[in-house]
Amino acid sequence: MKDVAQVGYNPALIYQFQGQSQGSSETQIAPTLIGGYDGHGSLTTLAIARALKVPSSNVIIIPPNPKEKQPGTSSEGLPSILATLPVQGGDIIIVDIPINIKDPESFINSIGRIAKYRRVTLIDHHETNMKYLSSLPPNVRLLQFSDTVAMAGAVEGMFGISPLDREMLMIGAVCDRDPAVQKYGMLIDQLYPLANTWDYLIRNNMLVHVKQVYERGTDYIKEMAKSVVYPPVSISQMARIERAGGSTIAIADIYQLPRDTVQGWQWKTFDYIAYANRLDYVVGIAESFDRQSKSYIPVLYVIKYFLSKLRAPRPLIEAKMMLGDREVVGHNDGFTVACRSYDDCLMLARNVAETLKYNISSVEQLVSGSVVAEDYHNIFDAVVSILKKISELTEKQNQIYEYIKSMKSNA
């Protein structure tokens, strides 16, 4: 019978992760962990590996190979990775790799083949999985969570993640720009730059950095954060930004920028533009590689900054039926639209920006103050101000103490 946990975790499931092979109740065999190659998938997998003391040889996190168009540990790449695993072994735990919506049959069949011999568990938060739940083999367990924060909490309890490695799970959640991370409150100011650092590291010699985090935990990320230059910072400085709705919306155009500079950083660049300019929405124009046509095409990116309190953009845009037959991929808070040409993209960007502008109610504008995450910025600024005041008072107290001391010595 299939098990699905959608919220929290069930302690009764823990036995599934003790690494015993199906044919043995005495000998424990280390599980094999296969983690998605992005920031969230890799850090969640590494936190589990450290908690279970899984040998590094049993941890599979593979970056994509752009030159050979190889997908790495992803929805597209999982079938070929599973095909290389021996039929004998411990549990297989697949982390943050959703069912491939473009080819669900190959994805599910590949899991079904290995699940005949080894127990397989999927741990994920992508809602598209639920569409294919009935197609999963009965001996495959899916632990499905509503968001990355719920998933992090469950993973922490399920695997006994240490307090130090809990931060690893939190950084991973921020890497995904999940709005649920607002539950982390003021910690976001600390987690955001660490998430950006890890995003950069996993795109450059990923296997080296994965090994370092496996051995040293988040201390390694914090150390590297001192020297890493986050690419979206420089890309955003070259972008053409057109304000489209007061201080809340902007059209950001990076289509003409060098392909080697931009590719792979489109989403995070628009996210950083929203962060740096305190925007609620960014409508971005960029060139992106299309796997189906195997060519670069103009793509419209529509994002709501992950800490914004305004409404999700996709339902607002689709209600106006302006996207036509263009291919749309993504979720309510962030999605892409494949365009026919650059001019088509620019026209659509302006229409989308206008639609967002006129669908923001005056009540929402008032509540949000037209500035995303203003609460966090204000609190952070207030804390800094208080610390400065305390420092000034301490200095004055020291001066008074020294004065009294000198007076006594002169008496």
Q: Which two tokens stand for residue 397?
A: 């107290």
Query: Based on the domain organization, do 52 and 184 belong to the same domain?
Result: yes
Tens place of pLDDT per residue across the chain (411 aa): 334 443 333 333 333 333 333 333 434 789 999 999 999 999 999 999 999 999 999 999 998 876 666 678 899 999 999 999 998 889 999 999 999 988 999 999 999 999 999 999 999 999 888 888 888 888 899 999 999 999 999 999 999 999 999 999 999 999 999 989 999 999 999 999 999 999 999 999 899 999 999 999 999 999 999 999 999 999 999 999 998 866 689 999 999 999 999 988 999 999 999 999 999 999 999 999 887 788 899 999 999 999 998 989 999 998 888 888 898 988 899 999 999 999 999 999 999 999 998 877 543 444 444 444 455 445 545 554 565 566 566 666 666 556 555 555 555
Pick from 224, 241, 267: which residue ends a domain? Answer: 224
Total count of domains within the chain: 3
> Which CATH number goes with the domain that contains 339?
3.10.310.30
Query: Based on the domain organization, do 149 and 240 belong to the same domain?
Result: no
Query: Based on the domain organization, do 276 and 399 belong to the same domain?
Result: no
Pick from 180, 208, 224: which residue ends a domain? Answer: 224
Query: Based on the domain organization, do 384 and 299 belong to the same domain?
Result: no
Query: Based on the domain organization, do 266 and 330 belong to the same domain?
Result: yes
Query: Based on the domain organization, do 136 and 236 belong to the same domain?
Result: no
Range of the domain at 411: 373-411
Query: Based on the domain organization, do 206 and 140 belong to the same domain?
Result: yes
Query: Based on the domain organization, do 92 and 193 belong to the same domain?
Result: yes
> Which CATH number goes with the domain that contains 81?
3.90.1640
Query: Based on the domain organization, do 124 and 182 belong to the same domain?
Result: yes
Query: Based on the domain organization, do 195 and 305 belong to the same domain?
Result: no
Cβ neighbour number for residue 108 with a 10 Å cutoff: 18
Closest CA to 203 of 264, 257, 272, 291: 264
Pick from 224, 242, 258: which residue ends a domain? Answer: 224
Question: Are 132 and 72 contacting, i.e. CB atoms less than 8 angstroms apart?
Answer: no
Query: Based on the domain organization, do 211 and 304 belong to the same domain?
Result: no
Q: Which residues have C-beta within 8 Å of that of residue 79, sequence separation ≥ 6?
A: 106, 107, 109, 110
Q: Which residues have C-beta within 8 Å of that of residue 239, sequence separation ≥ 6?
A: 252, 253, 254, 257, 269, 273
Helix axis angle, 148-159 to 163-175, nearest 10°: 160
List, edge to edge, every strand of the sheet that includes 240-243: 240-243, 249-253, 281-290, 295-304, 334-338, 328-330
pTM above 0.85, yes or no: no
Query: Based on the domain organization, do 70 and 192 belong to the same domain?
Result: yes
Three-class SS of residue 70? strand
